A and B are shown apart, each in its own frame.
Chain A
């Protein structure tokens, strides 16, 4: 199993370094970082240098690395590191460099209970909790805000930087904990349009995520739509919610799902994903993009993009950002918003050759538009350069909305004799995963 586990900052500084078996050189963090930097993008999660196996995950910009001299089970080693990251998040509230540096002693404690001689031991947050003696040190409040919600335009797919999620960004060790549970239905949309706004590929990746601060971990019963169906037959049409496939967390008993659409859950502490599901069927895309490209002259191009929010007017997208790559040979680009535009910005990044169009708050049914005037360098003509425009990528979040119509009918806490009724918070969030329009 793991010989060492260490955590490195994005610059390669060691923040945590634990050697369990003393059977590998001590210089492995350096070796790792050097190798990771030879990749042009992110490094492969698993690689070997000089017969030392490195498994790593990247969380909050940090490298969480395990080393070994054995032929590891690859999925298990990465799942273990992921579990470790979740434990750290449960105890510290968030994962980022500042928090880890402040809490390094606490993290050594977690590591010590989680692994012995490199083998996984107690890895559930509620099992470790009684063994932990250090308190988490919270970072400065304003810095939390900075680190939690980086600028929204960062096009990270899987960052749940979502409204209200600060509520769960806290430690399970918090003594004055309210007795409550958060349930989120996240849906990440993957849509690919061709240039005539026709959908080439679409799918939904969804999950039901819980963050439990319930006292005493009482069993739960979660009921879903009555018209829920799992597994899709070829060419089948049904008015109900059809999931292609799904899988469940260790703590879930799904035996009753087919019969009465309920899940029995024995919730651990902290954050966990009750169920993952995927849907490949057609659905109405919440946003539509209509790009128009005109060659004004041999050195000038005009790009007009219309964006339409195709959902109910009662629903408000918390942000919608559009990124338009433009030709490498662009001399200059002027993005122009409509005159009456509100809460909108458009910027041209001349280094990356990208126009970023950001819209804060977009109501269902509304339409926005952006015009970009491009001037090309003399070396390229508009006719060849137009091929380099696009693909246009979108990034958005729509709270209290989900495409699949999967619903939580009720969440029952099956504990008798407890007078206080814990708070149950249910949220629906739809985000873009990969929302792309080709030109």
Chain B
């Protein structure tokens, strides 16, 4: 498997290489823009479709085609649904980056929302609600409110999802929507109901989701079969949060749901099991009956997969979870269902081995040992190791049967190095629990094919613990002295050598001396290890018998700490959730939305920076390229502008005005970066105005003011009544400001720089406007 792995890693292109293509792609995007523009007047829908399709293809590849936004807006005035669907997909994807232009598109959406065909109404509404920018809200809410009571369920269910979308943009617009959503749970259409449940759960997440009354539960259960598989799974998941008032109600619900266990959709079966488990969790006897009842459906789903190995894996994880909660006996009869098959993927085999280790018991152990023995020689090393671990786990769990397992494991030593390595580690655990097996392990311990770091540590531990019974122990230990090994290994070696010294002093004395010498005289040695060695050395010099006593009064371990911890944590795992799959508590793999918002913002910043770097890199060298840029465009009108990707943008954008939404929220850069940019950029725009208001002309107030407009302070200082501050922000590109209030002269000075000069002017204007609004200047 290894070489295959290496080659697949190699097939992932390194990110740098991709950047190389960026430049060419930008040229292509400009070409495409012109192509779309030219096709606008085209009559033939087929040709138009092809062009639009090309845009979507680029979008899918992850190429930023947001520049074509105005043309695509124009193209959206079409009656051809094929084009319309593609164009709407485009518009919703890029609206966030083209907020001011997106308004152009809204009217088309609005018109379609009133179309006579409910399919088109629903479709337009779905896309309108997906325009992700705050300005769209005021157009959105009326459309949603109207559509919530549309006669067609397709429109209604879309409107409900629209509410959730609004909730994530500006929740304050959704006042009192909950009441209406609760009402919609009694809608005729199942999908409307399910969407209403989803919406309530998201909007009321802080309060624990939708409130479940007995009446609502009865109602939903009564209509359960009207819902599709996912609807049923959703309702059942809701139901698992419900607590029946009494036993009668509980049994009624469970009897009603029992036949759902025969469903071939695993989502439903697992959801039903979760309901059963949650209902009966305080009634151990009923709970056990539940487990016995759900066994057959689970085993069926785990062995018949209809080609869906992924589902099979999920079911196996849940079986393992149930078995590890102390119900392993339930599955013991079916052990053959968990035998590995030749062509199953490794992930299935591994989980099966874990299940086998859990359900082994006296009546199936004979067969199982043979079977696991076969896996030890599997070509896949991972499987081989796991089967050895499984054998070890069985030996630990069933001490009465450990003898047979130890003997079988010993028979593997002649095979491969990696097998010996794993066997040694397993032996260490078995011996820790039950030292009497040492006589069966002697042979393997004295073989010399232990190569792996952890196996060596395990071996050293065993040698120390059983030094008196292993004739060669001192001499094997000696081979590890002075060899470059991990600190962990040396710690174990020190302990083990001491242990053997106490029982075989004459043989060990010299070896121990060597060890002390090699540790204490090594300048680069780990300080803790040195300390420990020095401590023992002095203690032995002082009073060896005291130390010996200390060692020999060791405590016998009868419970493994790691086992207890895992069990305790596992009790809290929620059934039918990812916790069961990862075997982790939910707080270890779920983070709140804000965490991802930060990730996205950072991604956006990187993208902007990357774009800038590529633009600086691609800017034509003025010495080599003597042409006037303006001239170049107007005269020859070359459509392909391979090396000057931003020219079109520059020639079009400056007439616009920047608004706050253009700027990236919470944009952050480093001081060093700011400095280098500020010094490297040419002078941009500069204005001087008269200071009109003195009360807010201080550092704090100015920082707050700029912050409100999404410009951020990076440095500030005041000297001789002159306040100097530096700000920055980012929209299409970064802008940097030097801002100075001179109270002596009563002036305000603003210098603005940007990679693209036009943007410097626009940004300058933007700042001037809000300074005027706040009456700082006139």
A residues sitting closer than 8 Å to B (CB atoms) are 1, 11-12, 14-17, 19, 21-27, 29, 33-34, 37, 39-48, 50-53, 56-58, 69-76, 78-83, 104-105, 108-109, 112, 116-117, 119-124, 130-131, 133-134, 155-160, 190, 192, 200-201, 203, 205-207, 244-250, 254, 273, 275-278, 280, 325, 384, 387-388, 391, 393, 433-434, 436, 438
Question: Which range holds the interface residue count of chain B?
Answer: 35 or more
Residue contact B308 to A57, C-beta cutoff 8 Å: yes
Report the Cα distance A281→B5, complex, angstroms.
Answer: 40
Residue contact A190 to B341, C-beta cutoff 8 Å: yes
Contact flags B4-22 to A (C-beta < 8 A → 1, else 0): 1100110110000000000
With a cutoff of 8 Å between Cβ atoms, the chain B residues found around residue A391 in the complex are 342, 374
With a cutoff of 8 Å between Cβ atoms, the chain B residues found around residue A190 in the complex are 341
Report the Cα distance A411→B5, complex, angstroms.
Answer: 49
Report the Cα distance A75→B228, complex, angstroms.
Answer: 15
Residue contact B271 to A73, C-beta cutoff 8 Å: yes
Report the Cα distance A227→B499, complex, angstroms.
Answer: 71
7 shortest interchain CB distances as A-B pairs: A434-B341, A41-B346, A158-B307, A76-B267, A45-B310, A42-B345, A120-B230
B339: contacting residue among A24, A134, A192, A249, CB under 8 A: A192
Residue contact B578 to A71, C-beta cutoff 8 Å: yes
B389 within 8 A of A: no
Greatest chain A CB density within 10 A among B191, B304, B305, B337 is at B304
Residue contact B600 to A25, C-beta cutoff 8 Å: yes
Report the Cα distance A117→B169, complex, angstroms.
Answer: 13
Which residue on B lies nearest to A154, using beta carbons?
Answer: B343
Residue contact B374 to A73, C-beta cutoff 8 Å: no
Contact flags B234-258 to A (C-beta < 8 A → 1, else 0): 0001000000000000000000000
Which residue on B lies nearest to A24, using beta carbons?
Answer: B596
Residue contact B336 to A119, C-beta cutoff 8 Å: no
With a cutoff of 8 Å between Cβ atoms, the chain A residues found around residue B5 in the complex are 37, 40
B270: contacting residue among A17, A39, A57, A75, CB under 8 A: A75
Residue contact B306 to A273, C-beta cutoff 8 Å: yes
Residue contact A79 to B341, C-beta cutoff 8 Å: no
Greatest chain A CB density within 10 A among B307, B589, B593 is at B307
Residue contact A79 to B229, C-beta cutoff 8 Å: yes
Contact flags B140-165 to A (C-beta < 8 A → 1, else 0): 00000000000000000110010011
Residue contact B346 to A246, C-beta cutoff 8 Å: no
With a cutoff of 8 Å between Cβ atoms, the chain A residues found around residue B195 in the complex are 116, 119, 121
Report the Cα distance A108→B313, complex, angstroms.
Answer: 28
Residue contact A133 to B263, C-beta cutoff 8 Å: no
With a cutoff of 8 Å between Cβ atoms, the chain A residues found around residue B157 in the complex are 116, 121
With a cutoff of 8 Å between Cβ atoms, the chain A residues found around residue B271 in the complex are 73, 76
Q: List 18 A-B contacts (CB under 8 A).
A: A26-B603, A75-B311, A78-B314, A79-B266, A79-B267, A79-B311, A80-B230, A104-B60, A108-B56, A119-B195, A133-B81, A158-B305, A201-B336, A247-B297, A250-B264, A433-B341, A434-B344, A436-B341
Greatest chain B CB density within 10 A among A1, A37, A46, A130 is at A46
Residue contact A160 to B596, C-beta cutoff 8 Å: no
Residue contact B161 to A117, C-beta cutoff 8 Å: yes
With a cutoff of 8 Å between Cβ atoms, the chain A residues found around residue B296 in the complex are 244-245
Greatest chain A CB density within 10 A among B230, B580, B593 is at B230
With a cutoff of 8 Å between Cβ atoms, the chain B residues found around residue A45 in the complex are 309-310, 313-314, 347
Cβ of B713 to closest chain A Cβ, rounded Å: 27
Given pairs A44-B313, A75-B269, 6 additional interface contacts (CB within 8 A): A11-B11, A39-B346, A76-B233, A79-B311, A108-B56, A245-B299
With a cutoff of 8 Å between Cβ atoms, the chain A residues found around residue B317 in the complex are 74
- A105 with B314: in contact, given A69-B596, A75-B267 (CB under 8 Å)? no
With a cutoff of 8 Å between Cβ atoms, the chain B residues found around residue A56 in the complex are 310
With a cutoff of 8 Å between Cβ atoms, the chain A residues found around residue B86 in the complex are 105, 108
B578: contacting residue among A19, A72, A119, CB under 8 A: A72
Cβ of A320 to closest chain B Cβ, rounded Å: 16
Residue contact B596 to A25, C-beta cutoff 8 Å: yes
Residue contact B347 to A42, C-beta cutoff 8 Å: yes
With a cutoff of 8 Å between Cβ atoms, the chain A residues found around residue B683 in the complex are none
Cβ of A386 to closest chain B Cβ, rounded Å: 12
Cβ of A151 to closest chain B Cβ, rounded Å: 16
With a cutoff of 8 Å between Cβ atoms, the chain B residues found around residue A57 in the complex are 308, 310
Residue contact A51 to B591, C-beta cutoff 8 Å: yes
Which residue on B lies nearest to A50, using beta carbons?
Answer: B599
Residue contact B596 to A247, C-beta cutoff 8 Å: no
Which residue on A lies nearest to B263, using beta carbons?
Answer: A247
Residue contact A40 to B336, C-beta cutoff 8 Å: no
Cβ of A402 to closest chain B Cβ, rounded Å: 15
Cβ of A322 to closest chain B Cβ, rounded Å: 12
Cβ of B126 to closest chain A Cβ, rounded Å: 6
Greatest chain A CB density within 10 A among B86, B313, B596 is at B596
Residue contact A117 to B578, C-beta cutoff 8 Å: no
Report the Cα distance A200→B374, complex, angstroms.
Answer: 13
Cβ of A174 to closest chain B Cβ, rounded Å: 18
Which residue on B lies nearest to A56, using beta carbons?
Answer: B310
Cβ of A273 to closest chain B Cβ, rounded Å: 5
Residue contact B93 to A19, C-beta cutoff 8 Å: yes
B535 within 8 A of A: no
With a cutoff of 8 Å between Cβ atoms, the chain B residues found around residue A44 in the complex are 313, 347
With a cutoff of 8 Å between Cβ atoms, the chain B residues found around residue A19 in the complex are 93
B455 within 8 A of A: no
Residue contact A42 to B314, C-beta cutoff 8 Å: no
With a cutoff of 8 Å between Cβ atoms, the chain A residues found around residue B96 in the complex are 22
Residue contact B60 to A37, C-beta cutoff 8 Å: no
With a cutoff of 8 Å between Cβ atoms, the chain B residues found around residue A47 in the complex are 582
Report the Cα distance A384→B377, complex, angstroms.
Answer: 13
